[in-house]
Structure 1
Amino acid sequence: MIPALALYGVEKRFGSTRILRGVNLAIEPGERHALIGPNGAGKSTLFNLIAGATRPDAGRIDLFGAQITRLAPAAIARRGLARSFQNTSVFARLSVYDNLRCAATLAERDRLRWWQRFSGAPEVDARAAQVLEAVGLDARAHILAGALSYAEQRALDLGIALAGGAHTLLLDEPTAGMNRAEAARAIELIRETTAGRTLLMVEHDMDAVFAIADRISVLVQGRIIATGTPAAIRADAAVRAAYLGEGFDA
């Protein structure tokens, strides 16, 4: 089976500092994969490379077997990969519904005539409404996105990726800044809405990681030191010493 997302020998340096040191990673279609590691391990740099924000110094990145190593972010997004950031990236002055319509218009662009992109189309409205309900924001449809709570904006961020038709999602710390109740709702939302899609998630909240991920990779000093199921990662002595800590409760 061709991996949904694959990295082969990916390296990145800034000046004389090596950030990523030959990263190899393969994520299967429909898999929910978590990338964990201490601060400074290179997780954000890896996300930037996958999404096209920066380019690797060596190595190759494939999306469903097609190389995307040197494509621009917009070109990668058109191939079905969407990224969320640690800070929300919604259109604050548009309504929640219109945020989703913008994304849905992108997903339907090849089937729409040019005037429908501005005047509306049933396919766009239906997709936006479906995602609106899926992310639990149907009661907030017509308020400005900037008026949402932080947790609601993160849900809208996820909805924008879904409405845009992404089959592969990069989620950067999706529960950061949330209280325990908000984080629990976010975890359940991610589990429900990403079913059947490929997910790569960076997250420091280990409860979220173990609740969502099918497999986990551990990045330390620019190298992946372990990849496995949550149970295997919990039991890995090298992981416990390098990241989870010897006192981690398995």
Structure 2
Amino acid sequence: MIPALALYGIQKRFGATQILRGVDLAIEPGERHALIGPNGAGKSTLFNLIAGGARPNAGRIDLFGAEITRLAPAAITRRGLARSFQTTSVFARLSVFDNLRCAAMLAERDRTRWWQRFSGSSTVDARAGQVLEAVGLSARRRTQAGTLSYAEQRALDLGLALAGGAHTLLLDEPTAGMNRAEAARAIELIRTATAGRTLLMVEHDMDAVFAIADRISVLVQGRIIATGTPAAIRADAAVRAAYLGDGFRA
């Protein structure tokens, strides 16, 4: 089976500082994969490379067998990979529904006469409505996005990726800044709303990691030191030694 996302020998340095030191990783279609590790391990840098925000000094990145290493972010998005950031990226002055309509509109291949399609396309409206329900924001349909709570904005951020037709999602600390109840709801939302899609998630909350991930990779000092099921990672002595002081619970 061709991996949904594959990294081969990824290296990245900034000046004389080596951040990533030959990262190899293969994520299967439909897999939910978590990337964990201490601060400064290179997780955000790796995400940035996958999404096209920067280029590696060495190595290759494939999306369903096609190389995307040197593509621009917009080109990667058009191929079906979407990234959410630690801060939300919603259109604050538009309603929740119109935010989703914008994303659904961009998923359409024919981008001519975009305003006409935005204002009157039943396909766009249907897609936006489905995602609105999937991310639990139906009651907020007409609410201005900028007035949503932080947790609701993160849910809308996920909805934008889904409405845009992404089959592969990069989620950067999706529960950061949430209280325990909000985080629990976010975990359940991610589990249900991303069903059938490939997911790579950076997260420090181990409750979220073990609740969502099928497999986990541990990045330490620019290298992946272990990859396995949650049970295997829990029991890995090297992982516990490298990450225990940064919140890892066995």
Distance in structure 2 (CA, Å) of the matches to 1:115 and 1:100? 15
- Superposed CA deviations along residues 8-61 of structure 1, whole A, max 9, x for unmatched, are 000000000000000000000000000000000000000000000000000000
8 Å contact from structure 1 (residues 101, 125) kept in 2: yes
TM-score (norm 1): 0.97
The offset of 1:107, in angstroms, is 1.3
State the one-letter code of the partner of 2:36: I
Match of 1:76 in 2: 76
The offset of 1:76, in angstroms, is 0.1
Between 1:115-124 and 1:147-156, the stretch displaced more is 115-124
Structure 1 residues 4-23: aligned runs within 5 Å: 4-23=4-23
Match of 2:199 in 1: 199
State the one-letter code of the partner of 1:222: G
| 1:183 to 2:183 alignment | yes
The offset of 1:229, in angstroms, is 0.1
TM-score (norm 2): 0.97
Distance in structure 1 (CA, Å) of the matches to 2:246 and 2:118? 57
Match of 1:216 in 2: 216
Match of 2:96 in 1: 96
Structure 1 residues 98-247: aligned runs within 5 Å: 98-110=98-110, 114=114, 116-245=116-245
Distance in structure 1 (CA, Å) of the matches to 2:249 and 2:87? 30
Counting aligned pairs with the same residue, the percent is 88
SS in 1 for 2:110: helix
Distance in structure 1 (CA, Å) of the matches to 2:97 and 2:213? 30
Between 1:95-104 and 1:118-127, the stretch displaced more is 118-127
| 1:39 to 2:30 alignment | no
State the one-letter code of the partner of 2:45: T
8 Å contact from structure 1 (residues 108, 123) kept in 2: no
Distance in structure 2 (CA, Å) of the matches to 1:85 and 1:234? 27
Match of 1:59 in 2: 59
Unaligned 5+ segments in structure 2 are none
Distance in structure 1 (CA, Å) of the matches to 2:63 and 2:248? 35
State the one-letter code of the partner of 1:31: E
CA RMSD for the aligned pairs? 1.6
Unaligned 5+ segments in structure 1 are none
Distance in structure 1 (CA, Å) of the matches to 2:106 and 2:98? 13
CA distance 1:119–1:204, change in 2 (3 Å) = same
SS in 2 for 1:92: coil
The offset of 1:106, in angstroms, is 1.1
The offset of 1:109, in angstroms, is 3.3
The offset of 1:115, in angstroms, is 5.7
Distance in structure 1 (CA, Å) of the matches to 2:247 and 2:98? 47
